[in-house]
Amino acid sequence: MVNEEESEAPVELRPMLDYRAVQTWLEGLKSHWGGDPATDDPERLPILEAFCRLMNRDPDQVIKETTMIKNGEKRIRVKGRERYANAINAWQETIQGSRIRQAKWGNTVRSFLIHNGVLLQSGVHQG
């Protein structure tokens, strides 16, 4: 569905905390909401890792594909952002469980992008 280049070798992922974009995400969560984002939700990092495997990209690559530097300024790649937004929406629908659980999985990845400066919004998901 999402991996358009089927010939690509599967991405080899290091522990999620090794990636700069993941560190940025957790720093953003801590700064905005408090707590210890590395441990307060044991599902957080595995969910991101599952999405990265689906997309065959590591977390830093995901951010690289949704942002760029133009004239010295960070910009959002419109097509990259849209591609990932659609991929998250589609992936979320495939998650087993309630709509709330589906939303949690999608929103975890959205949160990763948001705290890396990529604006994304979800729809309303009520139980």
Partner 1 sequence: MEFKEVVGRRRSIRFFEPDRPVEREKIQKMLEAARLQSCAVNAQWARAVVSFRDDLKPDQLKRLLTPVAALNVEMAPVHIHWFNDLSIVNKIQGSRLRELVDVGALAPTHGWSHKFVDEFVYPQILKPMTEGPAYPVYSTFDVGMAVANALLAGVDEGLAVCMVTLNGEVLKEVFKTPAEWIPMPTILVGYPAENWDGGGQRPRPPFEELYFEGEYGKPFPRDPKVVEQLKAAKMIQEPARPHSPERIAEIKRLADKYGLPM
Alpha carbon distance 124, 127 (integer Å): 10
> Torsion angle, CA of 69/75/79/80, rounded to 10 degrees?
70
Does the footprint of partner 1 cover residue 11 (CB under 8 A)? no
Which residue lies nearer to partner 1 by CB, 3 or 76?
A: 76
* Other C-beta atoms lying within 10 Å of the C-beta of residue 52: 22
Which residue lies nearer to partner 1 by CB, 14 or 98?
A: 98
Q: Are the C-beta atoms of residues 68 and 117 closer than 8 Å to each other?
A: no
Which residue lies nearer to partner 1 by CB, 17 or 33?
A: 33
Binding mask 68-107 for partner 1 (x = CB under 8 A): -------------x-----------------xx--xx-xx
